[in-house]
Structure 1
Amino acid sequence: MTTVTDVDATRARAEQHLQALVGSSDAQLYDDQWAAIEALVVDRRRSLVVQRTGWGKSAVYFVATLLLREEGSGPTVIISPLLALMRNQIAAAERAGIRAVTINSTNMEQWEQTQGAIQRGEVDVLLVSPERLNNPGFRDEVLPRLAATCGLLVIDEAHCISDWGHDFRPDYRRIRTLLAELPDGIPVLATTATANQRVTDDVAEQLGSSVVEEAGHGRRETLVLRGSLDRETLRLGVVRLTTAEQRLAWLADHLAEQPGSGIVYCLTVAATQQVADYLRSRGHKVAAYSGKTEQTERLALEQALLDGEVKALVATSALGMGFDASLGFVVNLGAPSSPVAYYQQVGRAGRGTTSAASVVLLPAIEDRDIWAYFASLAFPREELVRETLAALAESGGVMSTPALEARVDLSRNRLETMLKVLDVDGAVRRVRGGWEATGQEWTYDADRYRRVAEAREREQRAMLDYLTTDQCRMWFLRHQLDDPAAGDGWTCGRCDNCGGLELPDDVSPKAVAEAADRLSRPGVPIEPRKLWPTGLSALGVDRSGRIKQPAEEGRAIARLTDLGHGTALRELFRAGDDAPAAVPVPLVHAVVAMLADWRPAPDVIVVTESETRGAMVADLADGLSRYLQRPIVGRWAITDPSVLPGQGATNSAQRVAAVTRRHGLQLTDPEAVRGKRVLLVDDLVATGWSLTLAADALVSAGAEAVLPLTLAVSA
């Protein structure tokens, strides 16, 4: 049994480690920091710490690591969701003399060397990504040894475990299996800054109880430590402006007034590029950052922001968890879909400083369209799950993801996510080369998926309420996260509703005009497909490998997610069967301006038939024929209407098979396109496969080049 004297000595030693970690001789542990460390080191319990960003959660596991290593325990294993977070954690560990290494997808060549260092006792902390837990080689060969020898398991950003959370990741569900395989007496720490009570309860339940017989305690439930989520340096405010032009103009006029460097968050990749281009044109030093940014460029941009070399990164939520910085401001151009996700993003500002940081939200009507799009990517319908399980069972062996993709009408990302969930549920197993069925019975938990969807809807309504509330904004966010310290009547004294922040809502006419000009410039590239999807032979389509002569780069007025023409295009395509028979005049003008910039120089025109917007596409082609003085010589015609519009649209192989059956090329003359440059006209690019197949048919008919032109691309 540990004595009081032993506990006091352990706390004194813990504070010495803390002082070395932070570089301050008078640093002391918070009560909850010590409570967590005591639970891990003295009692060997499982603990969940829910504390605000910048509170010092990493200090808990680094100090606990040093204490446990002094007692002869094995290395700490930290499961961390992002490479950026791993880099920051390794740097922090090294400052305290902790030997830290990582195993992730970017350093596979070092895995064997790293494992050797662990076995020789030369590693104090090993960081791994949750995706590694489901890698067959790592899961079967490395993970059992780690589970048997680790001294402490840490799960960072633990809200990702729960599908009630705003950032659920199926790879995190594998952690439950890892927990079950840990020897008795191995302490576990889960940490997060963004968990409401429902998520907290779910994560605590999944952590389970800890068996610590040798400490004389028997089985003990997970210790949950929740603190105040107030961020004393944040000043929250909302500026409500009517149009996208006004919101961009506000940024251009007021970005320089924001303290220090910061982040301008956008909801889509397209918006980051548009906004960054516009702000640069107004003299601001900014750069775009998203999940599509190359890794080396990401690192350079993150460092530029940390060093103050840019005023802001215009980013998606890809710059969120794991980016450890103290920034002067966060501006959201568009509202995230929940107060929890919003709190996560604004947490990048005002860290580790007493200086006030400004947090500004510029909401837009179109935010709800984007929320709806992301909601459509939820767990698939039961029949699609059953089709996947049946395909695996029928194969009698291992199927790769591309092979499964040819059998199931799901995109690659949704298919992978679904398979990971099924893997954790025990219905499938990931092995080298793909996936195999286990034969284990699986139940579709429709009630749970419905409850999760309803919870998401409630969060969206709460986010809309945040925009209009006259209550303290920090209290509102804390209340949404079920902060036990946020009592009724509490106010921060810092936000725009409390009187601590005054945000101008004026925009200069010049800035509005320049923003309008930028947004009204039509023309985004339509990138040609260059490779056929795999697995087409299984669907009776004789195509594979590289496309011999793909279409040239085409043009559309805008993406549906764009800030400018995107608004008008969203309204147009939302109309469905009620779509107008003619292209609206403002969009006609946009097409003309786009042609003047693009200069495609076609010889002839071919039009794509559309069941839902046929009259409008025909009107677009006729107008182009008159304007360019080029004849319409054919149609990419609907030859089998029994194949539904959009069939297979979530999966490349399925889509190619469906379009191949549905459409055929019909020309006014067999020689009509031979040696000609063909303008191929359509209304909307969703997957790009209809245009690809039409271009392939035109090239087969002798066309010299095919140039796609559409009103919009979907994203």
Structure 2
Amino acid sequence: MDQTTTPTVTTPSATPPGTTTSSTADDPREAVHAEARAALRALVGRDDVDFRDGQWEAVADLVVDRRRVLVVQRTGWGKSAVYFVATALLRARGAGPTLIVSPLLALMRDQVAAAARAGVRAVTMNSANAHAWDEVTAALAADEVDVLLVSPERLNNPKFRAELLPGLRERAGLVVVDEAHCISDWGHDFRPDYRRIRDLLGDLPTGTPVLATTATANARVVQDVAEQLADGSDHPVTTHRGPLARASLRLGVLPLRAPRDRLAWLAAHLDELPGSGIVYALTVSAAEETAALLAAAGHTVRAYTGRTDVAEREEAEEALRENRVKALVATSALGMGFDKPDLGFVVHLGAPSSPVAYYQQVGRAGRATDRADVLLLPGEEDREIWSYFATSSMPRQDQAAAVLDALGRAGRPMSTAALETVTDVRRTRLELLLKVLDVEGALERVGGGWTATGQGWTYDAERYGRVEEARRAEARAMLDYEATDGCRMRFLAEQLDDPSAADCGRCDRCAGTWFPTDVPEQAREDADRRLRQVGVEVPPRAQWPTGMDRLGVPVKGKIAADEQVGEGRVVARLTDLGWGQRLRTLLDARTPDASADPALLGACVAVLAGWGWARRPVAVAAVPSRRHPQLVASVAQHLAERGRLEWLGTLEAPDGGPRGEPGGNSAFRLAGVWDQLAVPTGMAERLAQVRGPVLLVDDLVDSRWTLTVAGRALRRAGADEVLPFALASVA
């Protein structure tokens, strides 16, 4: 909530059609101006602070005129100051608590701490503090809460929706939608649960002020959000929009396409960047790999991803705030809401999929500093990663129809796990699909799972087609940013439809290259050595998916101990920066099948050498592969020869082998391999003579069910232990 940098200016002329602007000369506003300034100073903790241009106007719109307000201002401008000051004034006038819908736990933690400094009693209800919900509920009932922060997902929690939301809706003195671009299909971080907010706004008592805030919205998103704030009614919406460029940021692009060179550059030059900062990577494995390499090079860094434990995330955030680390190496999990005004730099290893998303991330830097360095090191693999995520939030018509048909026939609630046996879609995407169908009224979350509402659902092909094309256009624009000969800050500002966009005079296009471009040979060798490292653990499956009887597979509960496989290994994950990229090409369906080359065979031997197993394998068997039979057989036979292990051959595929493609959910993947892998008679006879673990070789690990079922067949045929090995895993 920094109030020390240069103020920005409210620009009513930039408001979308249909919105209005407000005057600051009305007497009722002047009457509360001094009170509002005092609240701001208590919030910031300084007696010499005053409102930035646009802040007081927004507060007055909410407190005096009880309007619906959209604030589009750059990160660090002080949007949270607007709603905390407005809360203080409204509560002093007898209004109920402010309800803030906020997207991230990191943001909630910062907001609660900031509110406490101003004497504003703020609490939160989220997945990380479920133990405190009863206490929060009691405090709300006693009117001892000034601000309640919740995630958009909380609005659809059955208990919250039934027991707390009706009262909050009636009593709320102010409703705030933080990171409001998430409401819009066109927003770079669209979240289906945000669309529930429109229903919430439609049910508010007349005169309840509403504030929506964002730092990253172009004109199309601004208009979309404003229309949703108006809720299809005559609610006037006031939009305050200021210039989005930040004078402190110095932008640059360094095109080092090879992962080895990018990592080597970073290891060699990280300490030359000002202060402490963030290094962004596009995938979890890339973030973890980069953090490990930088730590090995002597840098104090930590990884921060969606796999990081919540407590570890909090500790890592504090370490960065207190400058106890040079950098957090993070995925987008460290994004909206993280507040460190003096963040000195942001480096991207790989580009985000749009200039707007890029601006949102680099906006973490330079809020309260004269200079912050922002550098992009794009990668050749960026486009493939963008393509994977491009349509992840869009429902597929066939999958939606299967879910609605199953719920209609069931006549009772079905759990998410049960619905996995209805349509072949991964759990994370299924959950997203259910949210979309819920916010569009086709189904409802209730105790026990999901139930159909009977309202039906129509697939809006035109809408999703427009969104998909917008995503492609954003990706093209990101490539244009990398290649532009013009000012980089102007480019980003224009992508956000900022009418004040102008050349910055600081970026590498305006002022020349400001960063070193050399890659020291020793750093390159160290990075290359690190990237050549192989061996990633693959944990065994221990539980059968729920409801497999619906798919004709007679298993449930835990996998019997005498039918389980042991912990496995792969050479690398497909998302890894080193071997992952080569394996991604090798295992691509368009790559002709062939025997493994010496480098890959050497990598496989290195994985076995570093395995550290309790008992050394004594034999090798292979999984039948449709796409890569020569590749798998050559690896398996080579490992048998080098390790002097008995070669058992390849398992049989009774009906052509496993069915289905990688990427589906657990239940369908298991059904696709069930009874499709068998131990030939000759192999079974030889297994009877084997005393020790069998190494089971495959090409690609995705759901792990192929190795689980193949290993189960070997165990049932007499193998006393099975150790899975594959060339790569999907993640």
TMscore range, shorter length: over 0.9
Please give the secondary structure, in 1, of the residue aligned with 2:439.
Answer: helix
Q: Does 1:465 align with 2:487?
A: no
Distance 1:117 1:376, change over 3 A: closer
Distance 1:195 1:369, change over 3 A: same
Q: CA deviation at 1:3?
A: 9.2
Distance 1:176 1:636, change over 3 A: farther
Q: CA deviation at 1:687?
A: 1.1
Q: Which deviates more, 316-325 or 594-603?
A: 594-603
Aligned partner of 1:401 in structure 2 is 416
Aligned partner of 1:142 in structure 2 is 164
Distance 1:500 1:226, change over 3 A: farther
* CA distance in 2 between partners of 1:177 and 1:296 (Å): 34
Aligned partner of 2:402 in structure 1 is 387
* CA distance in 1 between partners of 2:74 and 2:683 (Å): 70
Aligned with residue 288 of structure 2, among 270, 273, 283? 273
* CA distance in 2 between partners of 1:504 and 1:113 (Å): 54
* CA distance in 2 between partners of 1:230 and 1:584 (Å): 51
Aligned partner of 2:520 in structure 1 is 508
Q: Does 1:587 align with 2:587?
A: no
Aligned partner of 1:187 in structure 2 is 209
Residues 430-484 of structure 1, C-alpha deviations (whole Å, 9 max, x = no match): 0011000111121100111111111011111111111111111111111111112
Please give the secondary structure, in 2, of the residue aligned with 1:712.
Answer: strand
* CA distance in 2 between partners of 1:662 and 1:465 (Å): 48
Structure 2 stretches of 5 or more lacking a match?
Answer: 1-23
Q: CA deviation at 1:611?
A: 1.1
Q: Does 1:633 align with 2:645?
A: no
Aligned partner of 1:410 in structure 2 is 425
* CA distance in 1 between partners of 2:232 and 2:685 (Å): 78
* CA distance in 2 between partners of 1:3 and 1:329 (Å): 41
* CA distance in 2 between partners of 1:655 and 1:272 (Å): 28
Please give the secondary structure, in 2, of the residue aligned with 1:459.
Answer: helix
* CA distance in 1 between partners of 2:45 and 2:640 (Å): 73
- Is the contact between residue 130 and residue 172 of structure 1 (CA under 8 Å) also seen in structure 2? yes
Q: Does 1:653 align with 2:667?
A: yes
- Is the contact between residue 163 and residue 452 of structure 1 (CA under 8 Å) also seen in structure 2? yes
Aligned partner of 1:49 in structure 2 is 71
Q: Which deviates more, 637-646 or 181-190?
A: 637-646
Aligned partner of 1:158 in structure 2 is 180
Q: CA deviation at 1:64?
A: 0.8
Aligned partner of 2:682 in structure 1 is 668
Q: Does 1:678 align with 2:690?
A: no
Aligned partner of 1:517 in structure 2 is 529
- Is the contact between residue 235 and residue 501 of structure 1 (CA under 8 Å) also seen in structure 2? no
Aligned partner of 2:17 in structure 1 is none
Q: Does 1:422 align with 2:418?
A: no
Structure 1 stretches of 5 or more lacking a match?
Answer: 212-218
Aligned with residue 335 of structure 1, among 328, 338, 351? 351
* CA distance in 1 between partners of 2:392 and 2:197 (Å): 23
Aligned partner of 2:572 in structure 1 is 558
* CA distance in 1 between partners of 2:25 and 2:372 (Å): 45
Aligned partner of 2:558 in structure 1 is 546
Alignment of 1:471-486 (within 5 A): 471-486=486-501
Q: CA deviation at 1:525?
A: 1.3
Residues 75-123 of structure 1, C-alpha deviations (whole Å, 9 max, x = no match): 1111111111111001111111111111112223322322222232221
Aligned partner of 2:39 in structure 1 is 17
- Is the contact between residue 344 and residue 371 of structure 2 (CA under 8 Å) also seen in structure 1? yes
- Is the contact between residue 493 and residue 500 of structure 1 (CA under 8 Å) also seen in structure 2? no
* CA distance in 2 between partners of 1:59 and 1:153 (Å): 15
- Is the contact between residue 634 and residue 666 of structure 1 (CA under 8 Å) also seen in structure 2? no
* CA distance in 2 between partners of 1:110 and 1:624 (Å): 55
Aligned partner of 1:492 in structure 2 is 504
Give the AA of the match of 1:680: L
- Is the contact between residue 685 and residue 713 of structure 1 (CA under 8 Å) also seen in structure 2? yes
Please give the secondary structure, in 2, of the residue aligned with 1:223.
Answer: strand
Residues 107-142 of structure 1, C-alpha deviations (whole Å, 9 max, x = no match): 233223222222322211111111110101111111
What's the TM-score once normalised by structure 2's chain length? Answer: 0.93
Q: CA deviation at 1:209?
A: 5.5
Distance 1:257 1:192, change over 3 A: same
Distance 1:392 1:336, change over 3 A: same
Identity of aligned residues (%): 55
Please give the secondary structure, in 2, of the residue aligned with 1:684.
Answer: strand
Aligned with residue 698 of structure 1, among 669, 693, 714? 714
Aligned partner of 1:215 in structure 2 is none
Q: CA deviation at 1:626?
A: 2.2
- Is the contact between residue 184 and residue 210 of structure 1 (CA under 8 Å) also seen in structure 2? no
- Is the contact between residue 257 and residue 378 of structure 2 (CA under 8 Å) also seen in structure 1? no
Residues 160-196 of structure 1, C-alpha deviations (whole Å, 9 max, x = no match): 1112111111111111111111000000000011111
* CA distance in 1 between partners of 2:212 and 2:25 (Å): 26
Please give the secondary structure, in 2, of the residue aligned with 1:532.
Answer: coil
Alignment of 1:607-618 (within 5 A): 607-618=622-633
- Is the contact between residue 279 and residue 348 of structure 2 (CA under 8 Å) also seen in structure 1? yes
Please give the secondary structure, in 2, of the residue aligned with 1:497.
Answer: helix
Give the AA of the match of 2:522: K
- Is the contact between residue 202 and residue 231 of structure 2 (CA under 8 Å) also seen in structure 1? no
Q: CA deviation at 1:148?
A: 0.3
Distance 1:125 1:645, change over 3 A: closer
- Is the contact between residue 532 and residue 545 of structure 1 (CA under 8 Å) also seen in structure 2? yes
Alignment of 1:355-374 (within 5 A): 355-374=370-389
* CA distance in 1 between partners of 2:668 and 2:714 (Å): 22
* CA distance in 2 between partners of 1:498 and 1:287 (Å): 33
* CA distance in 2 between partners of 1:651 and 1:438 (Å): 25
* CA distance in 1 between partners of 2:590 and 2:484 (Å): 38
- Is the contact between residue 305 and residue 312 of structure 1 (CA under 8 Å) also seen in structure 2? yes
Q: CA-atom RMSD, angstroms?
A: 1.8
Q: Does 1:128 align with 2:142?
A: no
Aligned partner of 1:176 in structure 2 is 198
Give the AA of the match of 2:467: V
Residues 492-546 of structure 1, C-alpha deviations (whole Å, 9 max, x = no match): 0111111166111101100000100010111111221111111112212121222
Q: Which deviates more, 626-635 or 251-260?
A: 626-635
Q: CA deviation at 1:258?
A: 0.9
Please give the secondary structure, in 2, of the residue aligned with 1:126.
Answer: strand
Residues 344-377 of structure 1, C-alpha deviations (whole Å, 9 max, x = no match): 11111112x1331111111110111211222253
Q: CA deviation at 1:145?
A: 0.5
Q: Which deviates more, 550-559 or 584-593?
A: 584-593
Aligned partner of 2:28 in structure 1 is 6
Give the AA of the match of 1:705: E
* CA distance in 2 between partners of 1:642 and 1:500 (Å): 59
Alignment coverage as a number of residue pairs? 702
- Is the contact between residue 581 and residue 616 of structure 1 (CA under 8 Å) also seen in structure 2? yes
* CA distance in 2 between partners of 1:124 and 1:577 (Å): 59
Q: Does 1:75 align with 2:89?
A: no
